[in-house]
Amino acid sequence: MLDLLSVSRMKRFSTTFLLFLTILTGGFSQEDKITLTERKDYYQYDQDFLPASFHNARRDSLRSLMPSNSAFVVFASPERKRSNDVYYEYHQDPNFYYLSGLREPNAMLIIYKDVKNFGDFSTDEILFMQERNPSTELWNGRRLGVEKATENLSIDFILRNIDFMDFDAKLDSLRAIFFEKPLALENKNTLTSDNITGLYSAFESKNTVKMKPKQEIGGFMMAQLRQVKTPEEIKLLRKAILITCEAQNQLMREIDLDMTEYQTEAIIEYVFKKNGAEYPGFPSIQGSGENSCILHYTSNRRPFINGGLLVSDVGAEYHGYTADVTRTIPPSGKFTKEQKQIYELVVKAQSAGIEAAQVGMSFWHPGKVATEIISDGLMKLGIIEESYDVKKYFMHGTSHYLGLDVHDAGIYTPLEAGNVITVEPGIYIAEDSECNPKWWNIGVRIEDDILITKDGPENLSISSPRTVNEIEVMMQK
């Protein structure tokens, strides 16, 4: 195979420039217009994405510039870790999006100059993409999947990315293959230590002590240190949490049914910046209606007009230390009967979990207490029949450490003075759950930041309302 992009950067520039001219001179035809019905499964909240016909035309324009018997291979951007187990909000590679319209990671698009015969089918383009995964989607949001991609993207042939390992892409029969390595996969000069790759390489060459568990031991020692906060750290955490509570309060005062999820995100993050926070500690979660049942939903595009609760899970980062406070509020200003029943059950569980966060108790004890209350409550409401079914609707842990990371380092020993943890039970009843439909699409999470002291737990985020009455009163302001 020949990487002509590496051989001739001028050719790459010329190709890009000609594609740009094609856009400028081609304009949009009537067929480029899109309706919500055409792409409702993927673009269900916004109606002004580029239509599939646009991306299809761009692939054809690219083929017109490619030499005979060649292929163009483009990769989706890698997902990038921000810190510990928090990732940056995903941003697609511009070239990949331009040619495919797909906004998901873990994908590769091959565009052939001419139609190739692959035995069972013939095509001049193949997209390899990630398949649906209910477990992952519960945490991170919906995936398009091969079936819906075939309907919505107008790409001639689509396979799962795992299929590529055993697939003969006919690359060895081509005269030229145009491609670029994804930018986030760093390939630095290891002959110098002015970059992190070279620096680590130099360290490895000098390190003659090959003690196998050295990395694990180092991490364990740091976790021991970081799980107990000093007064200086607690002061910064208090500041970050106070800013976050004010943001939640401002959201309660301003929200109404004419808004969208992203407008509430703007209110939250405006208050962060206004009060001196450098960053959000993690991508702000503003999940309403059906999205309130996605634990780490961050797309934040849905309008509130269709009803439902809003789960607002946010944290300001101040001088490196991050808060993590969740409030669940009704954009209408009032909880419905069913929403109130679920909400008050979560409040009850959380209050008991906070009270259980005492010095000397197991780190997991607050979660055990909260889970038992939710299980009993769901059975009384007729949502579950057996206590073990609670995991259908409360499927995550109740606590984690808080500090320099939102999910901070720690070794999960019994609670001790100086620990800062969250207590965050929740109930998430997604559509099509095995219960009365009146409960569907009700998602509730309440999260507070708790300082463990010898005199008992201190709720550092108490300044933001958390009961039904307090929230409804605040929303009237």
Catalytic center residues: 85, 296, 313, 324, 396, 400, 407, 424, 428, 445, 447
Amino acid in position 398: T
CA distance from start to end of the chain: 67
Long-range residue pairs from 347-350, CB within 8 A, at least 24 positions apart, any chain:
347/446, 347/466, 347/467, 347/468, 348/373, 348/377, 349/373, 349/374, 349/377, 349/425, 350/423, 350/424, 350/425, 350/446, 350/448, 350/466
Give the tokens for residue 122: 């013939």
Distance CA 148, CA 44 (A): 13
User: Distance of CA 18 to CAs 63, 73, 111, 125, Å?
Assistant: 12, 18, 17, 21
Give the tokens for residue 476: 């009237």
- 172 SS3 class: helix
Beta strands 310-314 and 285-288: pairing type?
A: antiparallel
- 265 SS3 class: helix
Judged by phi (left if over 0) then psi (alpha if -120 to 50, else beta), residue 418 lies in: left
CB 446 within 8 Å of CB 350: yes
Residue with token string 């909880």: 335
Sequence-ordered list of residues with C-beta below 8 angstroms from that of 367, at least 6 positions apart, any chain: 353, 397, 398, 399, 425
Element (H, E) at 26: helix 9-26
Q: How many CA atoms lie within 13 A of 394 on its CB side?
A: 31
Nearest Cα to 72, choosing from 12, 161, 24, 152? 12
CB 144 within 8 Å of CB 95: no
Q: What φ, ψ does residue 451 adopt, rounded to 5°?
A: -95, 125
The stretches of 214-336 forming alpha helices (DSSP H) are: 214-226, 231-254, 261-274
